[in-house]
Amino acid sequence: MFKIHSSQVRWGSRSCPESVKATGAAPAIALSPHPKRWAAAVVMIPAALLDVIDGSIINTALPSIGRGLGATPAELQWTVSAYLLGFAATLIVAGHLGDRFGRKGLFLAGLAGFAVSSLAGAVAAGPDQLIVARAAQGVAAAVIMPQVLGSLRVLFTGAERGKVFAIYGAIAGLAMAAGVVLGGVLTDWNLFGWGWRTIFAINVPLAAVLIVLGALWIPAARDHGPGRVGVVRAGALALSLAAIVLPLVQGRSVGWSLWGWLRLGAGVAGLAGLAKWQQVLDEQRPMLPSGLFVSRVFVAGLVVQLLFCGAMSGFMLILTIWLQSGQGYSPARAGLLMVAFSVGTFLAAPMVDGLVARFGRGVPAAGGLILVGGLCWVVRATGHVCTHAAAWPLVPGLLVAGTGLGLMVIPLADIMLTAVPEDLAGVASGVFITAQQFGGALGVAVIGNAFFARVGAGHGDAIGRAGQWSVVACAACAVLCRVITCAAIIPRAEADHAG
């Protein structure tokens, strides 16, 4: 539902843009530019944007989906979380699969899977079918993404590589904002009487065109890296993540049963067991190298990723429901208002380098405080907007919050990546994105439950109480950012002093 895309992050300390290393692939060097490289980019960049758009397009359609399918609050939460979990569990292993078996084939298979799962979502007759389709969409999107990033890295060199990723990053930022509006417009447009189903159906012809063009224009590419592909471990990861989120989403409706707590504990134990299993495996290219988690800066940064994505994914869920079910907004009108947050993040991105150069690594913590201030504005404004009255007083707060988020996350990612060894930067980027997706699923579960538990007392009261969870989580992010930046600076200062 919400993410800072890897292509929007500055990686100034690395010799190669880290956004292209999110696959976990080993470095590859193109000996000469491929003649069809720009034609391939024309196909692959829009394909990657299907993930960016589908992560946000669902927001403004949720209330209509709930009415159309008679979905419960928990089922609406699962409609969002299933996509995030499918993506999180598949991304890292998908990068390894592309390296071993060829990126073009995996890319086309991912697109085909995305088209089929989108069609399944468009014709879903009930919430359960839609949830399964959304999970399949997330898996397919995770298969597509590393093949795009890895292929662009191989096809382009030198200044052209920087240019193609600059284009990709700019379009991805716009696509994230456009998805929110597009979801509302397509739902209101009601083409052929399909209503919200249009947001899924539109993917089918787009994917079909991209498959045909991709088969013609994309050259085969792979890295012949050693090591096995951890499909079993990826499955264990998926089951563990689902076991954690499931009781959090369903807990309120089933009375927080003992069985639910046991499943949550089993999920946590599964993650711990997976980490231990990882340590004893003797592989040249493990799925999650243990060296990643030696750095306290990197681990603390992952906690920030979990917290801010959880806070914002959960908040965007309850905001769209408050606007449409509480304030009577149409999906399109709600999308136009909510896009202010993405605009703030997009505007902040060009300022980051200059601010870091002038004020140093205190920028992430300052950005976190700005984010908290913007959220406090929005939460307070929702309590002062009368039912069915204009909610535009929220826009300044959303702009400020989006700006703060951009100032916090973009430089923080650079600090995190410089804290890990150079040869682990690629898989670290994959873990970075996985943490965002899993954090989003957790936030939808926790903050969504807090909202639906109070909605009987009124939507205004519900968003005021549930929004506090987002504010507290973002405040914790600001504190952790300060701790992380100090931890990253002190060892460097000690090293300089010793030298």
Lowest pLDDT segment from 62-76, 132-146, 267-281, 393-407: 267-281
Phi, psi of 388 (to 5 degrees): 65, 20
pLDDT at 3 (0 to 100): 57
pLDDT at 108 (0 to 100): 96
Residue 131 in tokens: 């949830």
Q: Is 195 helix (H, G, I), strand (E, B) or coil?
A: helix
pTM for the model: 0.83
Q: Averaged over 311-334, what is the pLDDT?
A: 92
Q: How far apart are CA 93 and CA 82, in angstroms?
A: 18
AA identity, residue 315: F
Class of domain 6-26+34-220+285-498: mainly alpha
Place 29 in a pLDDT band, splitting at 50, 70 and 90.
Answer: very low
Q: Is 80 exceeded by the pLDDT of residue 162?
A: no
Q: What is the mean pLDDT of the chain?
A: 82
Q: How far apart are CA 340 and CA 337, in angstroms?
A: 6
Q: Is 50 exceeded by the pLDDT of residue 351?
A: yes
Q: Averaged over 320-340, what is the pLDDT?
A: 91
Proportion of the chain above pLDDT 70, given as a percent: 82
Q: Is 80 exceeded by the pLDDT of residue 201?
A: yes
Q: Is 80 exceeded by the pLDDT of residue 448?
A: yes
Q: What angle do CA 20, 24, 26 make, to 5 degrees?
A: 85
Place 31 in a pLDDT band, splitting at 50, 70 and 90.
Answer: low
Residue 135 in tokens: 């999970």
Lowest pLDDT segment from 5-14, 435-444, 464-473: 5-14
AA identity, residue 479: V
Provide CB contacts within 8 A for 414, sequence distance 6+: 9, 10, 11, 12, 13
Place 498 in a pLDDT band, splitting at 50, 70 and 90.
Answer: very low
